[in-house]
Structure formats: structure tokens, C-alpha cells
């Protein structure tokens, strides 16, 4: 008898798990229409979550965490970062938009997932489903190689590639992301991009001579460049970087390579997020980005090379412009 009861209870719990899930999914939809605090001054009352579509320890993650720490001080509620990595960021974007749009879930994003949509790598409507709120930083990309690589700069690299076609590949963090676009725009079909899912493995493969080049952010490889295990071939920027150690690194702009993509990281919100929450978040974010802690961090990470902060209006304009550019460059013909 006991057995039967237990079995029934167990099955009931499983069924409830199913039913419970179904319910939340369907009730999430009408919620945004009935937001109560639409007109009144918005006050964040509980934990805010920022979804980071890239893994722990990377540039995006560090940005999100530093920003969260600074924002926490401005808002007085906990701000936590939730990493949802995968598929060049699309997984995390998709996840963020599947959460209730109640003003307590925000998303850290870069143009990479947008590019994935434009190239047709994903069917997910990144452009239509998320909206820029504030830009936090505008990082740059650099091209690195192992210290043993037979080339030291762009010219030597191109000579080597001409002499040994197909022998040099460039590791990128996602083939559909901006890193891949950097390689595509700079080298066309001369250098092929190879996708990695973990930055740690990419860096190890460069130092271990398994892959000839890698597109990375300066901060992620600072330790390896300092120790001499990696050398910087060029930076994908208009002007030379002003950080120490980069005095002799050529910039794309001065050697006539038109490839300036770099992750502009900012906060996004999903459709349906209450207007009050967006305004309150923007105001607090401006103070958080201007705070001493955030700025000091930005300097050590080399994020002071390009202006970072953009408010909602400016960021929206830049995001739309990026979209037009991507469609023109990479759009499905």
C-alpha cells in the first residue's frame, strides 16, 4: 500500500514539475502590459540580474562584474551576474529574453550576436528582441601569435602567408562573432578563422603553437604578453594603443587594413521592460560608470583607449548603425 502511495506522490510531483513549468512560461507573456509603476518614480526593490552571454573570466564577464559592483552601490539592491555562455552569445541573449521582462533582468551584450543574426547563423531575432540601454566600454581587438611564430608584424605575416598559403589559421572566440569579422575584413580568404568556445584553450593553443594567430582582447592576454610567451602582431584600431608595451605595435589604421571591430559592451533590455525601470537604470548606470572604481578598472584593462559611456539615445543610434553596416558587409545575398 505504502508503495502505491509513494509512487503516486512521486509521479504527482513530477507532473507538478511539468505543470509548474508550463504555467510560468505562459503567464510571463501578459505581464508587461500590466506594469504598475509605469508613471511613478521607479524604485528597484529586489535583486537585479545581469545576464552575461559569455563565460567566466573573459572580457565581457569582467566588465559585467565590475559594473555590477559599482551599480550595486548606486541602487542599494544586489546586482548579480549570471553567465549563460554558448553559441557566440546568442544562447545568453535568447535566455535573457525568455525571462520575465519585469525590470529586474538585464543583459550585457556586444554586436557579436547581432552579427550572428545578420550572417544567418541563427534564426533568433537579436535585433528585434533586445534594445540598447547604455554602453559601458568599447574594447579593442588585437592579433597575437606565439613567441616562436616566424612573423612579427603585419608585413612579415602577409609575406609568410603568401609563401605558405593555408598554413596560418586564426583562432577566434566565435566564428560568427566580431573576432571572425576582424579576420574576414583584414585578410579575406588568405587566413581562415577557427572557432573556439573557451578562451583558456585558445590562449593555450597559441602559446603551444597549435594555432598560428588569435584574435583577443588586450586584457585577456596581458599576463602572457608581459611574460613574453605571446607577441602582438597588430591592433585592430584606428590609432596605435597608448598602453605601455604597445608602443611598437602597428594599428590597422596606419597600415591600411580596414578592420576596426572591437567589442562595444553595453547593457540591453528585453522588449516589454517597464519604461520606469529603464530610466532609473540609465541614471544609476551613468553614475556607476563614472565611479572611481569602474574607471580605475577600465584603465588597468586598457579600456580607456576608446570612449566607453553612451546613454540610451546615443547607444541606440550606434547599434542601428552597426546593424546597417553588418547587413551591407555580411548580409545574406
- Choosing from 35, 62, 259, 273, the residue that interacts with other proteins (CB under 8 A) is 62
Q: Which residue from 64, 70, 120 is spatially nearest to 92, judged by alpha carbons?
A: 64
What is the nearest approach in angstroms of other proteins to the Cβ of residue 11? 8
What is the nearest approach in angstroms of other proteins to the Cβ of residue 300? 6
Name the grid cell of 135. Answer: 554602453
How are beta strands 105-109 and 48-52 bridged, if at all? parallel
* Count of residues near other proteins by CB under 8 A: 73
Q: Is 194 in the site for other proteins (CB under 8 A)?
A: yes
Q: What is the 3-state secondary structure (H, E, C) of 267-293?
A: EEEECCCCHHHHHHHHHHHHHHHHCHH
Tell which positions 157-186 bind other proteins, by CB under 8 A.
166, 169, 174-176
- Which lies closer to other proteins via its Cβ, residue 93 or residue 284? 93
- Scanning 34-42, 55-63, 257-265, 318-326 for contacts with other proteins by CB under 8 A, the matching segment is 55-63
Q: Is 201 in the site for other proteins (CB under 8 A)?
A: yes
- Which lies closer to other proteins via its Cβ, residue 226 or residue 324? 226
Tell which positions 89-108 bind other proteins, by CB under 8 A.
90-91, 94-95, 98-99
Instruction: Map grid coordinates 548603425 to a residue.
Output: 321
Q: Which residue from 298, 297, 266 is spatially nearest to 282, judged by alpha carbons?
A: 266
Compute how many other C-beta atoms are within 10 angstroms of the C-beta atom of residue 70.
23
Q: Is 20 in the site for other proteins (CB under 8 A)?
A: yes
What is the nearest approach in angstroms of other proteins to the Cβ of residue 212? 9
Q: Is 64 exposed, middle or buried (0-12, 13-18, 19+ CB in 10 A)?
A: buried
- Which lies closer to other proteins via its Cβ, residue 207 or residue 233? 207
DSSP 38: G
Q: Is 74 in the site for other proteins (CB under 8 A)?
A: no
Instruction: Map grid coordinates 513549468 to a residue.
Output: 21
Q: Is 271 in the site for other proteins (CB under 8 A)?
A: no
Amino acid at each position: 500500500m505504502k508503495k502505491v502511495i509513494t509512487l503516486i506522490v512521486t509521479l504527482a510531483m513530477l507532473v507538478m514539475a511539468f505543470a509548474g513549468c508550463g504555467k510560468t512560461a505562459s503567464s510571463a507573456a501578459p505581464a508587461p502590459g500590466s506594469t504598475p509603476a509605469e508613471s511613478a518614480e521607479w524604485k528597484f526593490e529586489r535583486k537585479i540580474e545581469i545576464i552575461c552571454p559569455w563565460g567566466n573570466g573573459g572580457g565581457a564577464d569582467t566588465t559585467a562584474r565590475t559594473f555590477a559592483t559599482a551599480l550595486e552601490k548606486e541602487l542599494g539592491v544586489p546586482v548579480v551576474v549570471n553567465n549563460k555562455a554558448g553559441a557566440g552569445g546568442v544562447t545568453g541573449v535568447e535566455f535573457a529574453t525568455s525571462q520575465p521582462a519585469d525590470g529586474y533582468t538585464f543583459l550585457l551584450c556586444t554586436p557579436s550576436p547581432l552579427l550572428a543574426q545578420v550572417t544567418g547563423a541563427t534564426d533568433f531575432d537579436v535585433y528585434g528582441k533586445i534594445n540598447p540601454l547604455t554602453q559601458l566600454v568599447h574594447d579593442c581587438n588585437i592579433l597575437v601569435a606565439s613567441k616562436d611564430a616566424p612573423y612579427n608584424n603585419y608585413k612579415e605575416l602577409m609575406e609568410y602567408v603568401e609563401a605558405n598559403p593555408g598554413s596560418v589559421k586564426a583562432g577566434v572566440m566565435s566564428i560568427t562573432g566580431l573576432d571572425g569579422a576582424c579576420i574576414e575584413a583584414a585578410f579575406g580568404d588568405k587566413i581562415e578563422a577557427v572557432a573556439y568556445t573557451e578562451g583558456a584553450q585558445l590562449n593555450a593553443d597559441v602559446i603551444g603553437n597549435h594555432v598560428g594567430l588569435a584574435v583577443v582582447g588586450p586584457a585577456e592576454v596581458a599576463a602572457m604578453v608581459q611574460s613574453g610567451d605571446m607577441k602582438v602582431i597588430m591592433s585592430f584600431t584606428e590609432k596605435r594603443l597608448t598602453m605601455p608595451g604597445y608602443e611598437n605595435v602597428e594599428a590597422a589604421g596606419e597600415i591600411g587594413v580596414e578592420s576596426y571591430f572591437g567589442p562595444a559592451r553595453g547593457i540591453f533590455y528585453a522588449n516589454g521592460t517597464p519604461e520606469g525601470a529603464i530610466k532609473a537604470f540609465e541614471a544609476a548606470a551613468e553614475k556607476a560608470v563614472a565611479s572611481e572604481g569602474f574607471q580605475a578598472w577600465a584603465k588597468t584593462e586598457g579600456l580607456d583607449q576608446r570612449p566607453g559611456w553612451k546613454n540610451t539615445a546615443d547607444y541606440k543610434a550606434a547599434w542601428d548603425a552597426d546593424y546597417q553596416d553588418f547587413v551591407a558587409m555580411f548580409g545574406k545575398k
